[in-house]
Amino acid sequence: MSKRKSTLDTFVIKSKKSSLQESAINAPSEHENISGTCTSTDQKPEHIPAVAAPEQHPEPVPEPSKFSTLGSELDLGLILSKKEQIFDKDKYELLKHAFKPGIDFVFPCSIHIKNGKEVKCYLSRKHFEKFTWLTFSRSLDGVFCIYCAIFIKFGGKDTGTPLKKLVEVPLRKYSKLLGKDGDLSSHHENLYHKKATIYAKNFLDVYENPKKDVRHVLDTERNKLAAENRARLVPIVESIIFLGKQNIPFRGHRDSGILKNASVVNEGNFRELLRFRINSGDNILKHHLETTSSKATYISSVTQNQIIGSCGEEILHQILCKIKSGKYYSVIFDETTDVSHASQMSVVLRYVDKGGDPQESFVGFLDCHATNYDSTTHEPYLSGEVLANTVTKFLKSDDLNPSYCVGIGTDTCNLMLGEQKGAVTELQKYFVNALRCPCKNHALNLSISKCNNVQAVRNSLGTISEVVAFFNASSKRSFVLKSVNEEKLKSLCETRWIDRHQSVIKFKGSLTQIVECLSIISQWRDLDSASKANCLKASILTRTFLVSLHCLTEVLSITINLSKILQSKSISKQYADGLIKGVIDTLKDKRQHATEIFETIFKEVEKMLSS
């Protein structure tokens, strides 16, 4: 046994009645027989509590751990005894502020039997200086390895043996600390301790510099990859939005293959627009198409439809936000069969924006059959109830409050306005505060159509349609018409009287040029065109046709402005009522002065025929 060196750290006051040989053993002994532990006094160990250092009042530790502390330094034993999970913040606090003996700390000792005598073996300062991982627990009156206690719980040959001494159980026996078989020296050389030391060092390094954390590095790389992928999609999405805004069709005869390989076949506007962007210096799009696999270009027709759908969802979301901020709204809808022979319902929502201006926003096309019939086991007929159910399902999916719907706008057909099973009647069961608002312009169209019972007028409209179709059916005829008449003739619309207004009025204004064109074509060697032109010219230059055309123009010139205004979204009911009353009064006045008006028309017709 090495000779003890007398130091202030191992000096204690001895009792005169004590017969114990006191020796501070700092090197391992050949033999030990533990009988208890002691502190720096010579009282019986079972009667002597651990000696605490003088009370200090240091500054509080910034952001203290959730665990209780003793003084300004953390007591690892007190924390371990709670058997709670130690979070990263608490681990950092322990590693930085775990208890270390101060200048005035009185080191504890343990009592051993050696050669039949009681010997006190002390824990000293040099143990803490040599083993920086050592920490003392006042609450458990023993020492721990702070690294292993935090980071390692199992060790041994199979790395599955629970670790006790210095890890879960404090070391209170100080007789054999150093040397080959010393508790501290042996622990220091253990593989699991070396691993725990590395874990502790890495933990402190990462905690103080989070950018080194593997999770942070992986997350950073993930965010970088996500940002790069989003940047790859930007030119594709912008191209789709551009074509959509300009109402330009996307696809051509072929819509697949490698984009950089030019094709003589029309590949559509979308692919050509992407090529144009690349040739104009869009390096992001160029890099994307050059580096990605052929299955991840995101320019296929399927992806185009998905992006269009996403754009539609975003637009609808923005519209619904505006509607909900304005609170009250009205629903306007109509159903028709489109060119693909599907029953399509168009839905428009009318609301007032934050500026107090009325707005009408289209929110979608709905397939009435697909919405209400899952199979073909039942006849997919359309009724007012089916139309109402289609609208109700759509608005429910948009999470609009039905109590705030104040109006339902439709046309005036029986399917919509029927008292028993009309669409509006069914909808009012769901929208209890909504008033029916039939389309006044539709009513105007129906009124004009019902007035069109005079055979001569109906024949004149048929003649106008034939003349317009005659010129539109041939490029040669159309060329002659453009050469003589600067404006192109407009076809008569079967459903919209606003277009018929313009067609009839424009036809009357170009009547002289039309007759001239028909005269030119009637001299052609093309017999079909020449004979047809002669027939149409003869039909036009009759008194019946000319009088009917003048009468139509006289009436439609009055109703055309009303038809336009009734379709505007900002017109008020009072203003519309005033306009309608004004048109009715004007027509009544013309009826009262019908003789004078017809005399004027007859004079104009005679003048045209004589010229």
Q: Which amino acid is at 329?
A: Y
**What's the chain's length in residues?**
611
**Taking 70 as the threshold, does the pLDDT of residue 308 lie above it?**
yes
Annotate 510-559 with DSSP letters as a single string: THHHHHHHHHHHTTSS-HHHHHHHHHHHHHHTSHHHHHHHHHHHHHHHHH
pLDDT tens-digit readout, 186-204: 888 888 888 888 988 988 8
Number of domains making up the chain: 4
pLDDT-derived band of residue 494, with 50, 70 and 90 as boundaries?
A: low
Instruction: Choose the weakest-confidence range: 201-210, 536-545, 585-594.
Output: 201-210
**Taking 50 as the threshold, does the pLDDT of residue 285 lie above it?**
yes
**86 compared with 159, residue with greater pLDDT:** 86
pLDDT-derived band of residue 461, with 50, 70 and 90 as boundaries?
A: confident
Highest average pLDDT, of 327-331, 489-493, 494-498, comes from 327-331
CA pair distance 262, 274, nearest whole angstrom: 12
Same domain, 505 and 546: yes
Which structure tokens are listed for 146?
A: 């702070």
**DSSP class of 460:** H
Residue at 123 is within a domain: yes
CB 498 within 8 A of CB 564: yes
Beta strands 435-438 and 405-410, pairing class: parallel
Same domain, 539 and 419: no
| Residue where a domain stops, chosen among 270, 299, 328 | 299
Strand partners, 344: 336, 367
Tell me, what's the pLDDT at 304?
92
CA pair distance 196, 148, nearest whole angstrom: 5
Same domain, 266 and 348: no
Residue at 22 is within a domain: no
Helix (H) or strand (E) holding 347: strand 343-352
Helices 527-540, 511-521: crossing angle, 10 deg rounding = 150
Which structure tokens are listed for 609?
A: 């025929």
Within 10 angstroms of residue 584's Cβ, the number of other Cβ atoms is 11
* 3-state SS, residue 436: strand
* 3-state SS, residue 246: coil
**Taking 60 as the threshold, does the pLDDT of residue 46 lie above it?**
no
The range of the structural domain enclosing residue 586 comes to 451-610
Calculate what percentage of the chain has a pLDDT beyond 90: 13
Helix (H) or strand (E) holding 121: strand 117-122
| Residue where a domain stops, chosen among 406, 438, 470 | 438
Residue at 127 is within a domain: yes
Calculate what percentage of the chain has a pLDDT beyond 70: 84
Specify burial of residue 423 (Cβ count, 10 A radius: 0-12, 13-18, 19+): buried
Same domain, 153 and 45: yes
Which structure tokens are listed for 549?
A: 């055309």
Same domain, 345 and 291: no
Residue at 308 is within a domain: no
CB 521 within 8 A of CB 480: yes
- Residue carrying structure tokens 């000293």: 124
Mean pLDDT score across all residues of the chain: 79
**DSSP class of 452:** T
Specify burial of residue 438 (Cβ count, 10 A radius: 0-12, 13-18, 19+): middle
**Taking 50 as the threshold, does the pLDDT of residue 69 lie above it?**
no
Instruction: Choose the weakest-confidence range: 11-20, 196-205, 346-355, 591-600.
Output: 11-20
**Taking 90 as the threshold, does the pLDDT of residue 59 lie above it?**
no
Tell me, what's the pLDDT at 262?
72
Residues 6 or more apart in contact with residue 532 via CB below 8 angstroms: 470
Tell me, what's the pLDDT at 436?
84
CB 120 within 8 A of CB 24: yes
Residue at 208 is within a domain: no
Q: What angle do CA 398, 403, 407 make, to 5 degrees?
A: 85
**156 compared with 534, residue with greater pLDDT:** 534
CA pair distance 480, 471, nearest whole angstrom: 9
**DSSP class of 171:** B
Instruction: Choose the weakest-confidence range: 183-197, 368-382, 432-446, 511-525.
Output: 368-382
pLDDT tens-digit readout, 127-160: 888 888 888 888 888 888 888 888 887 766 666 6
Beta strand residue intervals within 158-274, DSSP E: 161-162
Tell me, what's the pLDDT at 131?
87
CB 124 within 8 A of CB 168: no
| Residue where a domain stops, chosen among 386, 405, 438 | 438
**Taking 70 as the threshold, does the pLDDT of residue 70 lie above it?**
no
Residues 6 or more apart in contact with residue 582 via CB below 8 angstroms: none
Tell me, what's the pLDDT at 498?
64
**Taking 60 as the threshold, does the pLDDT of residue 72 lie above it?**
no
**Taking 50 as the threshold, does the pLDDT of residue 93 lie above it?**
yes
- Across 81-98, average pLDDT: 80
**DSSP class of 251:** -
**Taking 80 as the threshold, does the pLDDT of residue 557 lie above it?**
yes
Same domain, 286 and 323: no
**71 compared with 98, residue with greater pLDDT:** 98
**Taking 90 as the threshold, does the pLDDT of residue 311 lie above it?**
yes
Residue at 8 is within a domain: no
Same domain, 42 and 174: yes
Same domain, 123 and 65: yes
Same domain, 289 and 323: no
CA pair distance 386, 417, nearest whole angstrom: 14
CA pair distance 271, 297, nearest whole angstrom: 12
**Taking 70 as the threshold, does the pLDDT of residue 496 lie above it?**
no
* Phi, psi (rounded to 5 degrees) for 461: -65, -35
Same domain, 457 and 536: yes
Residue at 191 is within a domain: no
Helix (H) or strand (E) holding 329: strand 329-337
Tell me, what's the pLDDT at 556?
83
pLDDT-derived band of residue 243, with 50, 70 and 90 as boundaries?
A: very high
Same domain, 460 and 584: yes
pLDDT tens-digit readout, 228-242: 889 999 999 999 999
- 65-99 as b/e, with b when 16 or more CB fall inside 10 Å? bebebebebbbbbbbbeeeeebeeebbbbbbebbb
**35 compared with 303, residue with greater pLDDT:** 303
Residue at 164 is within a domain: yes
Same domain, 292 and 326: no
Q: Please report, for the domain that includes residue 372, its CATH number.
A: 3.30.420
Tell me, what's the pLDDT at 156?
63
**123 compared with 232, residue with greater pLDDT:** 232
Q: pTM surpassing 0.85?
A: no
**Taking 90 as the threshold, does the pLDDT of residue 307 lie above it?**
yes
Instruction: Choose the weakest-confidence range: 120-129, 314-323, 343-352.
Output: 120-129
